[in-house]
């Protein structure tokens, strides 16, 4: 049971880091002259509430993991993954809001979307049929199109409801699908959207082909791939525009990647438990403790994953520290 203490402790530590940075940020703003325009302020906009939410989600992950380990089972495994969806979504939203503070995501809509996402996962747990993936793919087609339009136009395109959403398709039809109507103007956004869509549909079709019964893990892989693609897009564009990574986010990001590699090794290739068996069957997978004669392979996975989440959160929190003395109107938007 190494999961709850490690997640809770490191989540609380991250909350303290965010609290300290927000305090010093507010103190610095009070000491400097108040700019006449918001764009003349320094650094990227700081949305501390989002990072507080990330820290609380890490703490909640430890509590939910304790609920799962109290009575492990295939139906209860969703408790161990529910907060991971929230962590991925909150982290991506916090990163997006830095360069797009004018595009506000309504909290009610965001958490309603997260609730629906978790609800779909729960349905997948209790409907062990291939038709579940068929229905998900049929629903994913219009949803993917709507999200692509929203992300590509940053929420500014569909002002008149459904007609605004179908307007790009009508434009292509009116032009006879000529090259100038299909070639995107915002190429960087189009590239990342295409990569994310390819990864998402590859995972969905692979799940259908293999008829994977572990639905929570499938949806967790989708969330992680989408977050990883956007973080990579953000960092590449940051370096491409002449910005740099300071030593703290670079070290935290490198440490997070290294820790996650070892964590996945213990999770995939050194499994010492399984919810597919009953308690007696799962006990046969147990192996001797490998760390301090106390923690087995599964405990080591939880310890490493907790540190991976912590380093990842610190890296994204400090990612734009190099812009702290840069006027906001001089910061590139991508």
Q: What pLDDT score does 277 carry?
A: 57
pLDDT digits (tens, 9 = 90+) for 154-189: 655 544 544 555 555 555 555 554 544 455 666 677
Backbone angles phi, psi at 146, to 5 degrees: -65, -45
Q: What pLDDT score does 281 carry?
A: 59
- Angle between helix 215-240 and 78-99 (nearest 10): 20
Ranges under pLDDT 70 in the chain: 1-3, 29-40, 72-75, 104, 149-150, 152-187, 269-296
Tell me if 224 sits within 8 A of 88, measured CB to CB: yes
Q: What pLDDT score does 314 carry?
A: 93
Q: What pLDDT score does 179 carry?
A: 47
Tell me if 6 sits within 8 A of 295, measured CB to CB: no
For residues 263 and 298, what is the distance between their CA atoms, to the nearest angstrom?
Answer: 10
Assign residue 154 a region (left: φ > 0; alpha: ψ between -120 and 50; beta: otherwise).
left
For the chain, how big is the Rg over CA atoms in Å?
22
Q: What pLDDT score does 181 carry?
A: 46
Q: What pLDDT score does 310 carry?
A: 93
Q: Which residues contact 7 (CB under 8 A, 6 or more apart)?
A: 58, 59, 61, 62, 63, 65, 302, 306, 309
* Token digits of residue 132: 């579940």
Nearest CA-CA partner of 299 in 311, 309, 290: 290
Tell me if 298 sits within 8 A of 264, measured CB to CB: no
Q: What pLDDT score does 134 carry?
A: 80
DSSP 8-class letter at 98: H
DSSP 8-class letter at 2: -
Is 0.75 topped by the overall pTM? Answer: yes
The residue assigned the tokens 């999961």 is: 3
Residue 9, beta-bridge partner list: none
For residues 97 and 47, what is the distance between their CA atoms, to the nearest angstrom?
Answer: 8
Q: Where exactly are the structural domains of the chain?
A: 3-127+214-330, 129-212
For residues 1 and 70, what is the distance between their CA atoms, to the nearest angstrom?
Answer: 9
> Which string of DSSP letters, residue by residue, matches 255-310?
HHHHHHHHHHHHHHTS----TTS-HHHHHTT-----BTTTB-HHHHHHHHHHHHHH
Burial of 25 (0-12, 13-18, 19+ CB in 10 A): middle
Class assignment of domain 3-127+214-330?
mainly alpha
Burial of 180 (0-12, 13-18, 19+ CB in 10 A): exposed
Q: In 52-88, which positions are buried (b, 16+ CB within 10 angstroms) versus exposed (e)?
A: bbbbbbbbbbbebbbebbeebebeebbbbbbbbbbbb
């Amino acid at each position: 049971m190494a999961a709850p203490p490690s997640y809770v402790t490191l989540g609380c530590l991250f909350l303290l880091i965010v609290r300290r940075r927000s305090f010093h940020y507010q103190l610095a703003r009070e000491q400097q002259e108040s700019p006449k325009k918001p764009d003349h302020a320094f650094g990227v906009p700081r949305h501390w509430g989002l990072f507080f939410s990330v820290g609380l989600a890490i703490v909640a992950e430890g509590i939910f993991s304790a609920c799962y380990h109290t009575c492990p089972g295939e139906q209860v495994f969703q408790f161990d993954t529910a907060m991971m969806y929230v962590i991925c979504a909150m982290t991506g939203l916090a990163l997006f809001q830095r360069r797009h503070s004018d595009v506000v995501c309504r909290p009610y809509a965001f958490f309603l979307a997260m609730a629906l996402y978790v609800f779909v996962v729960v349905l997948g747990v209790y409907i062990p049929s291939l038709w579940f993936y068929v229905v998900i793919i049929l629903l994913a087609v219009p949803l993917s199109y709507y999200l692509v339009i929203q992300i590509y136009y940053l929420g500014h395109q569909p002002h008149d409801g459904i007609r605004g959403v179908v307007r790009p398709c009508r434009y292509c039809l009116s032009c006879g699908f000529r090259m100038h109507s299909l070639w995107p103007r915002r190429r960087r956004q189009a590239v990342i959207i295409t990569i994310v869509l390819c990864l998402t549909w590859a995972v969905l079709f692979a799940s259908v082909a293999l008829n994977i019964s572990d639905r929570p893990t499938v949806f967790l892989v989708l969330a992680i791939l989408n977050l990883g693609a956007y973080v990579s897009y953000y960092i590449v564009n940051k370096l491409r525009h002449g910005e740099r990574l300071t030593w703290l986010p670079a070290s935290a990001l490198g440490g997070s990647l290294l820790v996650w590699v070892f964590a996945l090794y213990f999770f995939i290739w050194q499994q010492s438990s399984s919810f597919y068996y009953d308690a007696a069957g799962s006990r046969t997978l147990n192996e001797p403790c490998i760390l301090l004669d106390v923690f087995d392979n599964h405990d080591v996975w939880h310890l490493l994953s907790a540190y991976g989440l912590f380093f990842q959160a610190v890296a994204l929190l400090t990612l734009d520290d190099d812009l702290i003395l840069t006027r906001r109107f001089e910061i590139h938007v991508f």
